[in-house]
Amino acid sequence: MEHEVDTTLTVNGATVRRRIAARQHLVDFLREELGLTGSHIGCEHGVCGACTVRVDGEIVRGCLMFAAQADGCTVDTVEGLSDSRELEELQSAFVLTNALQCGFCTPGVLMAAQALLRDEANPSRERIREYLSGNYCRCTGYQAIVDAIDLVAKARAARAK
């Protein structure tokens, strides 16, 4: 029988207590146990960024972390940040610039973009590209994604003046 671990974590503001299979990855737990399917599973090797979630304020690869390792942690997913409207400005910009096609990469890209804009005021387009280099998009060619993030960065910088 697979080893299970009593785990308590906060997911999108709600306390979750579960016995979790020790080897279940965080993104699988969020999707399969909690129905939070906004975080996607692509490569499962930490390369593509589709599984990006926030743990204690920092973005992580949900496919590289065991769910049980999140014991005592605060986990935020794209659903939580959408509901709190933290992503609203970025989401609107993505629609405006057509920064998504199939949308598979989009939750991870939004999570990464929000982390960048939270930590760095008005990053250059080069910096946006560099920061997003761990988020693969097979559809857009990245130009429109960078346009969207740049739009939000400039708008926030203008408001901060």
| Binding region for ligand FES (CB under 6 A) | 41-44, 46-51, 61, 63, 100-106, 137-140
**Joined tokens for residue 115:** 């982390």
Nearer residue to ligand FES within complex by CB, 49 or 123: 49
Q: How far is the CB of 143 from ligand FES (least distance, A)?
A: 12
Region class of 132: left (phi > 0), else alpha (psi between -120 and 50), else beta? alpha
Which CB sits closer to ligand FES, 68 or 109? 109
* Residue 100 vs 116, nearer CB to ligand FES: 100
Range list of β-strands (E), 3-131: 4-11, 14-21, 52-55, 58-61, 74-76
Helix (H, G, I), strand (E, B) or coil at 15: strand
Q: Which residue carries 């935020």 as its tokens?
A: 76
Q: Are 81 and 52 in contact (CB under 8 A)?
A: no
Contact predicate 20/47, CB 8 Å? no
**Residue with Cβ nearer ligand FES (55 or 122):** 55
Q: Nearest approach, Cβ of 153 to ligand FES (angstroms)?
A: 20
In 13-100, the DSSP E strands lie at 14-21, 52-55, 58-61, 74-76
Q: Which is nearer to ligand FES, 34 or 122 (CB)?
A: 34
